[in-house]
Amino acid sequence: MIQATELSKKYGGVTVLNIENLEIPRGQTFGLVGNNGAGKTTFFNLILDLINPTTGSVINNNIQVNKSEDWKPFTAAFIDESFLIGYLTPEEYFYFIGELRGMNKADIDTFLAQFSDIFNDEILGKKKYLRDLSKGNQKKAGIVAALIGSPEVIVLDEPFANLDPTTQIRLKKLLGELTKNSNATVLISSHDLGHITEVCERIVVLDKGLIVKDLKTSEETLTALEAYFTV
């Protein structure tokens, strides 16, 4: 379970995130939506201890993330291309992440084989550095790398951005199978209300750093979200 308590972040005296209490149970597919500046990426950065909170704490499976690194072995994320190592080829990067997760090259090769439809023969075996791939292919590599080693918690910021429609559909299917088969806790932010409603069983709306809606996904959720954002 992930729990944020009295969590806030200020920049220059301006509060960009203020969450009194938020609990995300183990195995939940959790969606985060909001307009630009709502605090989505700030929240994910706090979960991953990439920035320090102004107040409060984030607990990941009973571990306070800014007090210990014991949460890192079971947590994975892809926020943006800065998570990649640009001077490595995709294969080198996957092997590197695999080694960190206790997997050998044969394990990784077997793991990667299941993503051939997502890679679409554009990533592996091309002798290109990650920095030279398109934004979409960098996104594919980063998401797949985040799944290496069967992490218990996976954080994905805007995973559908820069992906072609075919890959978006395949990614939605992959995320659905992931939570069903592994009981992983998956946190996703997205500007695409349709995609996130299809994938996530719970959706929280942030507005100027505050939680304004916390919805269990149903047939009415997409309509409710569209109505909220068109007011």
Can you count the helices (H) and strands (E) in the chain? Answer: 8, 10
Residue 72 is part of a domain; what is its CATH number?
3.40.50.300
Section 65-88 average pLDDT: 95
Helix axes 135-146, 90-100, angle to 10 degrees: 20
35 CA to centre of own chain: 17
Q: Residue 76's pLDDT band (boundaries 50, 70, 90)? A: very high
Please tell me the predicted confidence (pLDDT) of residue 31: 97
Long-range interactions of 116-123: CB distance < 8 A, separation 24+: 117/170, 118/144, 118/167, 118/170, 118/171, 118/174, 119/144, 120/166, 120/167, 123/90
SS3 38: coil
Mean pLDDT (the chain, rounded): 93
DSSP 8-state assignment for residue 120: T
pLDDT tens digits, one per residue of 129-184 = 999 999 999 999 999 999 999 999 999 999 998 888 999 998 888 888 877 767 89
Q: What is the rounded CA–CA span in Å between residue 139 and residue 137?
A: 5
How many Cα atoms sit within 13 Å of 15 on the Cβ side?
Answer: 12
Please tell me the predicted confidence (pLDDT) of residue 162: 86
Domain hosting residue 209, numbered range: 2-230
Please tell me the predicted confidence (pLDDT) of residue 130: 96
Number of domains in the chain: 1
In this predicted structure, the answer to whether residue 202 has a pLDDT above a threshold of 80 is: yes
